[in-house]
C-alpha cells in the first residue's frame, strides 16, 4: 500500500503525501474497512454452517430453522445498532473514537467465537453486532471528513475507492476464512476473522495522524445531566434484563427462543416506530411530509429486497453445502466459496452500471428511480424462482451443478446494483432537513425490517428447505416490483420534485 503513496503536485506546500491522488487518510480508512469487511463476511460465511453442523463435526447441532433465524436476527441487529452508533458519535464520542471502540469490540467478539464454548459463542456474536453498529455508522462519515470542501471533485472518487475495499474484503474472506473453518476447524476460522479485524485496527491507529480533525468533533455534546439520565435508564433496563434472563436460566426454562423473539419483534417495531415518528413530526412542511410518504414505498420495497438478498448466508449457504456439487471443471472447493461470487460480480459490474446510467442520462433515456426499484425487486424475485427450480432439481438427494447458484448470485447482484446505490442516493434527496443526518440510519433499518420478517417466518416454523419457501418469496418480490412500476405515476408527485 505504501507504493501507492505519491507526492501531490497540486498541494499548496508541495510536500503533502496522497493516496491515489486522495488525502492520505483514505489509505488507512480503506484498509480498516477492507479488513473489517473481511472479518464480517468471513465469519458470516461460516455462521449457519457451524450452527447446523452436528456436535460430532464440532458444530452446535441446531436445526435448520433455528440456525437461519439466529443468522437473520444477528444480521438485523447489525443494521439496527447503526442508529445508536451514529447517535453516540454525534453526542458522546465523535466519529474517530466510536470507530476505534467499535473495531475493538468486533475483534474481541470474533476471538470469543473462537472459544469452543456455546455461551462464549453467543456473547461473541452479540459483541460483533454491537461493534459493527458502532463502526458501520461512522467510518463512511470519516471518509467524508477528509474532503472539507463538499464540492471537492475528488470526493465521489474517494468513496468509490473506499467501497472497493468492502468488496475486496468480502471477496477474499470466504476463500480463506471459509476454507480454514470448513476444512480445518470452525474455531480456527473464527479466530482468523479476529486476526483480520486486528489488522484493520492496526491500520486505523497507524493512520490516526492523517485523519481529519473534524472526526474528533462531537457535533452536539450531551450535558452532564443528560448523560447521567441516559446512563441511569440504561442501567435500569440492563438490570431488568439480567434479572429476567437470570431467573429463566436458574429455573432451567431458558432457551435460545427467549432471546430470538424479543430481538425479532424489536427489529420490526423499531423501524415502524421511527418512520412514524418522522412522518408525524409537526415541524415538517408539506413538501417534506409528502416526500416521507413517497419514501415509505421505497422503504417497504427495500425491506422485501434485503430480506431475500441476505439469505445468501443462510438458506442459500445450506443449499450450497447439502444440495450442490462443490466441484467445477475438476476443481473441488468448500461450499463457503459461493459467498465470494457476489463481491466478484459487484467489482466486475459496478463500473458497467455507472457508465450505463451516464450513457442513458445523456440521451434522456435513463430509467426513473421508481423503475430502477421495480426492476431490482423483480430480479431478486426471479432469483428465488431459479432457486425453486434448483431445489426441485435436487430432490431425492441429487447434487445439482454449482452453475445454479452462480446464476442466482448473478441475478441478485444485478438487482443489487439497480436498487442499492439508487436507494442510498434517494434517501439523501428525500430526507427532511431536520433529519438529514439520521436518514441514512433509517435506510439501514430497511435491512433490519426485512431480516426480521425472515427470522419471524423461521421462528414460526416455515419450511426453509422447500421449493415453497423460494416460490412464495420470489412471487412476493415480483408482485412488489410490478406494483411499484404500476403506481409510479401516483408516487412520483409525492417526491416533491426529486427525480
Which tens digits make up the pLDDT trace of 370-415?
888 899 999 999 999 999 999 999 988 889 999 999 999 999 999 9
332 backbone dihedrals φ, ψ, rounded to 5°: -95, 140
Whether residue 198 is predicted with pLDDT greater than 90 in this model: the reply is yes
For the segment 303-317, what is each residue's pLDDT rounded down to a tens digit?
999 999 999 999 999
Whether residue 72 is predicted with pLDDT greater than 90 in this model: the reply is yes
DSSP 69-97: HHHHHHHHHHHHTHHHHHHHIIIII-HHH
Whether residue 319 is predicted with pLDDT greater than 80 in this model: the reply is yes
The share of the chain scoring above pLDDT 70, in percent, equals 95
Which among 200, 198, 183 has a CA at the least distance from the CA of 45?
Answer: 183
Q: How many CB atoms lie within 10 A of CB 334?
A: 21
Instruction: With beta carbons less than 8 A apart as the criterion, state whether 423 and 491 touch.
Output: no
pLDDT average, residue stretch 293-306 = 91
With a CB cutoff of 8 Å and minimum separation 6, the contacts of 287 are 496
pLDDT average, residue stretch 36-42 = 96
Whether residue 121 is predicted with pLDDT greater than 90 in this model: the reply is yes
pLDDT score, position 70: 94
Instruction: Please tell me the distance from the alpha carbon of residue 80 to that of residue 74, in angstroms, as a whole number.
Output: 10
DSSP 8-state class, residue 174: I
pLDDT score, position 384: 96
Whether residue 74 is predicted with pLDDT greater than 80 in this model: the reply is yes
pLDDT score, position 395: 87
Which among 362, 375, 361 has a CA at the least distance from the CA of 499?
Answer: 361
pLDDT score, position 141: 85
pLDDT average, residue stretch 475-489 = 89
Instruction: Please tell me the distance from the alpha carbon of residue 160 to that of residue 346, in angstroms, as a whole number.
Output: 12
Q: 3-class DSSP state for residue 5?
A: strand
pLDDT score, position 470: 93
DSSP-derived pairing of the beta strands 331-332 and 17-19: unpaired
Whether residue 39 is predicted with pLDDT greater than 90 in this model: the reply is yes
pTM over 0.85: yes
Whether residue 459 is predicted with pLDDT greater than 80 in this model: the reply is yes
With a CB cutoff of 8 Å and minimum separation 6, the contacts of 54 are 61
pLDDT average, residue stretch 4-17 = 43
| CA-to-CA separations, 331 to 284, 400, 410, in angstroms, rounded | 59, 15, 21
From the number of C-beta atoms within 10 Å of its C-beta (0-12, 13-18, 19+), residue 214 rates as: middle
The share of the chain scoring above pLDDT 90, in percent, equals 55
pLDDT score, position 9: 37
pLDDT score, position 336: 95
Give percent helix, percent strand, percent coil of the chain, each to the nearest 5.
80, 5, 20
pLDDT score, position 235: 93
Instruction: Please tell me the distance from the alpha carbon of residue 497 to that of residue 499, in angstroms, as a whole number.
Output: 6
Instruction: Please tell me the distance from the alpha carbon of residue 236 to that of residue 246, in angstroms, as a whole number.
Output: 15
Whether residue 117 is predicted with pLDDT greater than 90 in this model: the reply is yes
Q: How many CB atoms lie within 10 A of CB 479?
A: 14
Which among 182, 198, 179, 181 has a CA at the least distance from the CA of 190?
Answer: 181
Whether residue 155 is predicted with pLDDT greater than 80 in this model: the reply is no
Q: At what angle do helices 286-309 and 256-279 cross, to 10 degrees?
A: 150
pLDDT score, position 16: 58
Instruction: With beta carbons less than 8 A apart as the criterion, state whether 187 and 114 touch.
Output: yes
DSSP H/E element including 6: strand 5-7
Pairwise pLDDT comparison (438 vs 169), residue with the higher score: 169
For the segment 227-238, what is each residue's pLDDT rounded down to a tens digit?
899 999 989 998
DSSP H/E element including 229: helix 224-251
Q: To 10 degrees, the CA torsion angle through 40, 42, 48, 52?
A: -140
For the segment 184-197, what is each residue's pLDDT rounded down to a tens digit?
999 999 999 999 99
DSSP 237-302: HHHHHHHHHHHHHHHT---HHHHHHHHHHHHHHHHHHHHHHHHT-TTS-HHHHHHHHHHHHHHHHH
pLDDT score, position 3: 38
Q: How many CB atoms lie within 10 A of CB 256?
A: 16
End-to-end CA, the chain: 39
Whether residue 439 is predicted with pLDDT greater than 60 in this model: the reply is yes
Which among 296, 288, 290 has a CA at the least distance from the CA of 272?
Answer: 296
Whether residue 66 is predicted with pLDDT greater than 70 in this model: the reply is yes
Q: For residue 1, name the pLDDT band (cuts at 50, 70, 90).
A: very low
pLDDT score, position 331: 83
Cα 39 to the chain's mean position, in Å?
13
Whether residue 15 is predicted with pLDDT greater than 70 in this model: the reply is no
Whether residue 69 is predicted with pLDDT greater than 50 in this model: the reply is yes
pLDDT score, position 10: 40
Instruction: Please tell me the distance from the alpha carbon of residue 290 to that of residue 491, in angstroms, as a whole number.
Output: 10
Instruction: With beta carbons less than 8 A apart as the criterion, state whether 48 and 314 touch.
Output: yes
Instruction: Please tell me the distance from the alpha carbon of residue 432 to that of residue 45, in angstroms, as a whole number.
Output: 38
Q: For residue 495, name the pLDDT band (cuts at 50, 70, 90).
A: confident
Instruction: Please tell me the distance from the alpha carbon of residue 499 to that of residue 479, in angstroms, as a whole number.
Output: 23
Mean pLDDT of the chain: 88
pLDDT score, position 255: 80
Whether residue 178 is predicted with pLDDT greater than 90 in this model: the reply is yes
Instruction: Please tell me the distance from the alpha carbon of residue 113 to that of residue 177, in angstroms, as a whole number.
Output: 13
Instruction: Please tell me the distance from the alpha carbon of residue 64 to that of residue 72, in angstroms, as a whole number.
Output: 12
Q: How many CB atoms lie within 10 A of CB 452?
A: 29
Q: For residue 5, name the pLDDT band (cuts at 50, 70, 90).
A: very low
pLDDT average, residue stretch 224-253 = 88
Which among 463, 39, 83 has a CA at the least distance from the CA of 267?
Answer: 83
Amino acid at each position: 500500500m505504501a507504493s501507492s503513496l505519491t507526492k501531490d503536485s497540486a498541494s499548496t506546500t508541495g510536500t503533502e503525501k496522497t493516496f491515489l491522488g486522495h488525502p492520505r487518510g483514505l489509505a488507512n480508512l480503506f484498509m480498516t474497512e477492507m479488513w473489517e469487511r473481511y472479518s464480517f463476511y468471513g465469519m458470516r460465511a461460516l455462521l449457519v454452517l457451524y450452527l447446523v453442523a452436528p456436535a460430532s463435526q464440532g458444530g452446535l447441532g441446531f436445526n435448520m430453522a433455528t440456525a437461519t433465524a439466529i443468522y437473520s436476527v444477528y444480521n438485523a441487529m447489525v443494521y439496527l445498532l447503526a442508529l445508536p452508533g451514529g447517535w453516540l458519535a454525534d453526542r458522546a464520542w465523535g466519529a474517530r473514537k466510536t470507530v476505534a471502540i467499535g473495531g475493538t469490540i468486533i475483534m474481541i467478539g470474533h476471538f470469543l467465537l473462537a472459544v469452543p464454548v456455546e455461551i462464549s459463542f453467543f456473547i461473541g456474536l452479540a459483541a460483533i453486532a454491537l461493534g459493527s453498529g458502532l463502526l458501520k455508522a461512522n467510518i463512511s462519515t470519516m471518509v467524508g471528513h477528509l474532503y472539507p470542501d463538499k464540492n471537492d471533485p475528488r470526493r465521489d472518487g474517494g468513496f468509490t475507492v473506499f467501497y472497493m475495499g468492502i468488496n475486496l474484503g468480502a471477496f477474499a474472506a470466504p476463500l480463506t476464512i471459509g476454507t480454514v473453518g470448513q476444512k480445518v476447524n470452525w474455531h480456527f476460522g473464527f479466530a482468523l476473522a479476529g486476526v483480520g479485524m486486528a489488522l484493520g485496527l492496526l491500520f486505523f491507529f497507524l493512520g490516526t495522524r492523517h485523519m481529519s480533525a473534524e472526526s474528533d468533533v462531537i457535533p452536539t455534546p450531551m450535558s452532564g445531566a443528560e448523560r447521567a439520565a441516559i446512563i441511569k435508564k440504561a442501567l435500569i433496563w440492563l438490570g431488568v434484563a439480567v434479572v429476567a434472563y437470570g431467573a429463566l436460566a436458574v429455573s432451567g426454562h431458558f432457551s435460545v427462543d427467549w432471546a430470538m423473539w424479543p430481538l425479532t419483534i424489536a427489529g420490526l417495531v423499531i423501524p415502524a416506530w421511527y418512520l412514524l415518528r418522522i412522518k408525524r413530526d409537526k415541524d415538517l412542511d408539506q413538501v417534506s411530509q409528502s416526500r416521507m410518504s413517497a419514501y415509505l414505498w421505497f422503504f417497504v420495497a427495500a425491506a422485501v429486497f434485503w430480506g431475500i438478498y441476505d439469505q445468501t448466508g443462510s438458506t442459500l449457504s445450506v443449499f450450497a453445502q447439502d444440495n450442490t456439487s462443490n466441484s467445477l471443471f475438476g476443481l473441488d472447493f468448500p461450499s463457503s466459496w459461493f459467498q465470494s461470487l457476489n463481491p466478484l460480480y459487484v467489482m466486475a459490474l459496478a463500473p458497467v452500471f455507472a457508465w450505463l446510467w451516464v450513457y442513458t442520462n445523456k440521451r434522456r433515456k435513463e430509467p426513473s428511480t421508481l423503475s430502477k426499484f421495480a426492476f431490482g425487486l423483480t430480479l431478486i424475485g426471479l432469483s428465488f424462482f431459479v432457486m425453486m427450480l434448483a431445489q426441485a432439481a435436487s430432490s431425492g438427494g441429487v447434487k445439482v451443478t454449482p452453475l445454479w447458484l452462480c446464476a442466482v448470485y448473478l441475478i441478485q447482484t444485478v438487482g443489487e446494483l439497480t436498487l442499492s446505490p439508487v436507494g442510498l442516493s434517494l434517501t439523501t434527496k428525500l430526507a427532511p432537513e431536520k433529519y438529514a443526518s439520521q436518514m441514512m440510519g433509517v435506510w439501514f433499518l430497511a435491512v433490519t425490517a426485512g431480516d426480521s420478517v425472515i427470522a419471524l417466518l423461521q421462528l414460526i416454523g416455515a419450511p426453509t428447505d422447500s421449493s415453497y419457501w423460494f416460490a412464495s418469496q420470489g412471487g412476493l418480490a415480483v408482485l412488489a416490483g410490478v406494483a411499484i412500476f404500476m403506481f409510479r405515476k401516483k408516487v412520483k408527485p409525492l417526491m416533491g420534485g426529486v427525480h
